[in-house]
């Protein structure tokens, strides 16, 4: 696939997450996706990714990711992301705070046969925890 086609796969992936369209995820994410940054207690694969997404929305129903820019090389697409939301429910063990958050991250996806087969990401988790009042 071309670089632009690979970028389009990642855009569809982010769009599906932002719309909570988990059926669309099956179209752009391999069932056996490998995620090096999977949270403890969640299984690898598309089902684990869906579980994390649902847990995220339980704590922050307006969770939204914006792709600021993308770079593609070979089978890889790197995206710089801005993530926003409001914590109205329990968020991975943090009691509801009612606070809004805004942080950035970098996502690296490897594409094969039109689907994301590997994902890793780095987010400003410390910044998020501070904004939610979970860290000084």
β-strand partners of 72: 77
Q: How many domains does the chain have?
A: 1
d(CA 64, CA 25): 16
What's the pLDDT score for residue 102? 97
pTM higher than 0.85, yes or no? yes
CATH of the domain at 89: 3.10.450.50
Tens digits of residue pLDDT in 48-67: 999 999 999 999 999 999 99
d(CA 36, CA 99): 29
How many Cβ atoms are within 10 Å of 108's Cβ, its own excluded?
A: 17
In a domain, 71, yes or no: yes
In a domain, 55, yes or no: yes
DSSP string of 87-116, one letter each residue: --S-BTTBPP---EEEEEEEEEEEEETTEE
**Which residue range forms the structural domain that includes residue 90?**
3-131
In a domain, 118, yes or no: yes
d(CA 125, CA 24): 27
In a domain, 113, yes or no: yes
In a domain, 101, yes or no: yes
In a domain, 136, yes or no: no
């Amino acid at each position: 696939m071309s670089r632009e086609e690979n970028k389009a796969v990642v855009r569809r992936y982010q769009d599906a997450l932002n719309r909570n369209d988990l059926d669309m995820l099956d179209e752009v994410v391999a069932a056996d996706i490998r995620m090096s940054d999977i949270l403890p207690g969640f299984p690898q694969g598309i089902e684990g990714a869906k579980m994390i997404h649902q847990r995220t929305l339980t704590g922050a129903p307006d969770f939204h990711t914006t792709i600021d820019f993308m770079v593609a090389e070979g089978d890889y697409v790197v995206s710089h992301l801005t993530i926003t939301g409001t914590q109205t429910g329990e968020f991975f063990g943090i009691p509801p705070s009612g606070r809004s958050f805004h942080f950035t991250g970098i996502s690296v996806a490897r594409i094969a046969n039109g689907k994301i087969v590997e994902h890793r990401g780095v987010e400003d988790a410390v910044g998020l925890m501070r904004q939610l009042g979970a860290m000084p």
